Amino acid sequence: MQKTWLITGVSSGLGRILAQKALARGDSVIGTSRKADALPDLRERYPQRLHIIALDLRDQGSVRAAVDRAFEQRGRIDIVVSNAGYGLVGAAEEVSDQQVRDIIATNLIGSITLIQAALAHLRKQGGGRIQQLSSEGGQIVYPGLGLYHATKWGIEGFVETVALEVAPFGIELTLVEPGPTRTEFGGNLAHAEAIAAYEETPVGQTRAAVRGSWVVKGDPERVTAAMIALADQKGPLPRRLVLGADAYDGIRKALSGRIAELDSQKEISVAADFTEAELARL
């Protein structure tokens, strides 16, 4: 059965590859990009099934207008993919106020607004699916990527909550969490002005890694194939889809560590409550 997709950030990376795969199998795609003339090759090849809408995620009004226009054009959209975003390298002390505002406006507020705008349409049409691109960085952290992690951990909490709120309407949300993947993402990283004191710290190690020593195992073709398969999967859908061996290992290690730390504090945690006898007297 043919599907209709709304995909943000289709001009490059995972967004472009996902759009290509969806179109190649006969689906329709409404893609967003900062430029309305993005993907000229694909628009020429699929003039009836690919439409591009200009969208700046930092402009909430632009986001809502783009979503409304997409649903007006197609009548029904089956899968919304919130894909657009970028990374910022820099220690907390290094990043500027403007860099903080920009990445939160794009990665977090932009994604939240996109989902908010889509929900009313999905609810009225009787359901649909949202794939939110997060990353392994939504569950684990690397020194020097704190603002990126802040946006990803933030959107994960939002999506988890929304999924519970809209389940009665047949709307399903999944967080897609790839590890480092061979796209233009690394080349498009923003960088804070480095402070020399951090050079010989874990922040400096992260900086060196993103400059070229990081072995990037993730295959964007396989990542997007998994996202296509997720769109076709019969429910219930996973809340998170982890993609990549390093992502799997890193997230599993982080979760195991958090569980062990939580269990070590059980006595302290339980002791923070009123006792049953005290509650009875309140």
Show Cβ contacts of residue 138 under 8 Å, excluding neighbours closer than 6 positions: 149, 152, 153, 155, 156, 175, 177
Q: Which residue(s) pair with 201 in the sheet?
A: none
All structural domains of the chain with their residue ranges:
4-243, 251-282
Structure tokens at 18: 């996902």
pLDDT of residue 213: 66
Query: Is 80 exceeded by the pLDDT of residue 274?
Result: yes
CB 181 within 8 A of CB 225: no
φ/ψ of 127, rounded to 5, equals: 135, 180
* pLDDT tens digits, 62-116: 999 999 999 999 999 999 999 988 999 999 999 999 999 999 999 999 999 999 9
Active-site residue, 152 included: yes
127: confidence class by pLDDT, cuts 50, 70, 90: very high
The dihedral through the CA atoms of 57, 59, 64, 65 has a sign that is negative
pLDDT of residue 67: 97
pLDDT of residue 165: 98
How far is the C-alpha of 274 from the C-alpha of 210, rounded, in Å?
49
Helix then strand count (H, E) for the chain reads 11, 9
Active-site residue, 148 included: yes
pLDDT of residue 188: 81
Residue owning tokens 């289709």: 10
* pLDDT tens digits, 141-187: 999 999 999 999 999 999 999 999 999 999 999 999 998 777 767 67
Query: Is 90 exceeded by the pLDDT of residue 216?
Result: no
pLDDT of residue 217: 84
Catalytic residue among 134, 135, 142, 198: 134
235: confidence class by pLDDT, cuts 50, 70, 90: confident
Topology given in CATH for the domain delimited by 4-243:
Rossmann fold (3.40.50)
